[in-house]
Amino acid sequence: MSELTIKLIIILIPGAIATLIFGKLILHKEWSSFRFVLYSILFGIISYLLLQLAINLINICVCNYLPELTIWSNLNNASSIPYKEVGFASIFSIVIAFIASLIENKKVINKIAGFLGISAKYGDENLYSMFLNSKEVEFIYLRDIKNQLTYHGWVKSFSETDNISEIRLCDVALFNYSDSEFLYEVKEVYLSLNKQEIIIELANLEENGQEETEQE
């Protein structure tokens, strides 16, 4: 591995930190290596740009002795690694990751696009994740068609793969699927089921105590 390659890896540390945090805080399918590197480069550039902006503002408002970032001018110099700049940029990258995660989780870009009539797309996740991640979803009915069972409980956590839906329910009541006969109650249950064999319904309690369901 050449010195220049090592320098580039060190320089990309802020972007890698931001990408790892961003990936932990949003719902997404597994990223390819290309996408991870692309995000690392993008977040890294933003981190260094914000660091440069902070230096410029400090020089204008407070003093005028902070040096310009050297990362832009000696990128091809393999022997010169700006460790201090990488460290400060890494601090900025954490803030950037949180802001980017907030924008993604709140669907800010999609909401702006919808308001302007550009796109009606909700986000990158599929309908399963969007539905269960909604604030309105608390108690649900999960119909297990294959095993002829119905689970009623509130959603604590969930995840999915290409074929399997995983969900963790609490305060669960179990019923027969065919006639809704009550079977028993459990405090918590973990389910891993085929996507094609379940139906999820949102349970609503009316003021008169009668239950209605809204099917996904």
Judge whether residue 207 has pLDDT over 50.
Answer: no
Average pLDDT (7-23) is: 94
Torsion angle (degrees, nearest 10) of CA 160, 162, 163, 169: 10
- Using a pLDDT cut of 70, give the percent of the chain over it: 88
- In this prediction the pTM is 0.67
pLDDT bucket at 131, cuts 50 / 70 / 90? confident
Average pLDDT (185-201) is: 89
Distance CA 47, CA 21 (A): 14
List alpha helices for 106-209, DSSP H: 108-115, 127-132
Tokens 């996507």 correspond to 195
Question: pLDDT digit string (tens) for 40-82?
Answer: 999 999 999 999 999 988 888 887 778 888 887 777 777 788 8
Task: State phi, psi for 9 to the nearest 5 degrees.
Answer: -65, -45
Structure tokens at 75: 């990128």
Bridge partners (DSSP) of residue 141 are 152, 201
Alpha carbons within 13 angstroms on the beta-carbon side of residue 119 total: 11
Distance CA 141, CA 47 (A): 45
Structure tokens at 83: 């460790």
Domain boundaries, the chain: 3-113, 127-215
Average pLDDT, the chain: 84
Question: pLDDT digit string (tens) for 76-122?
Answer: 777 788 899 999 999 999 999 999 999 988 888 888 988 888 876 66
Topology of the domain comprising 127-215: SH3 type barrels. (2.30.30)
Write the single-letter amino acid at 205: L
Predicted local distance difference test score (pLDDT) of residue 208: 32
* Spatial contact of 176 and 184, defined as CB atoms under 8 Å apart: no
pLDDT bucket at 205, cuts 50 / 70 / 90? low
